[in-house]
Homo-oligomer: A and B are copies of this chain.
Amino acid sequence: MEAALKAIAEPRRRQILVLVRDGEMTAGEIASHFEVTRPAISQHLTVLKEAGLVSERRDGTKRIYRFRPEGVEELRAFIEDMWTERLVTLKDEAEHEERRRRGAGPATGRR
């Protein structure tokens, strides 16, 4: 998750994602869309792959990269939790209070 966030924080990697989003592409084909050298793109692809945002498939000497929706799904879910968990916390507090009113409460919920 950390990795995915840092991956999309980089503009060029987002551009790469937009490229492969519409269909799979070879490394060279991706690199041809940019002004930087191929090794640079190769490194970006490694980062994206390890972040789970793209998948790699091999065909002979070619390497074909493909957008990986599940990776972005995790990311989206994480961002969503960023403020929905606020409601969860409020709910937890309400539950604790109710429990306390019943006299049960050592509150073992601490990590």
Contact = CB atoms under 8 A, between A and B. Distances in A.
Interface of A: 2, 5-6, 8-9, 11, 17, 21-22, 67, 69, 72, 75-76, 79-80, 82-83, 85-86, 89-90
Contacts of A90: 22
A83 B53 CA distance: 11
Copies, count: 2
A82 B21 contact: yes
A66 to B, nearest CB: 12
B80 A76 contact: yes
A79 B5 CA distance: 11
A84 to B, nearest CB: 10
A6 B79 CA distance: 14
Contact of A69 (B22, B72, B83): B83
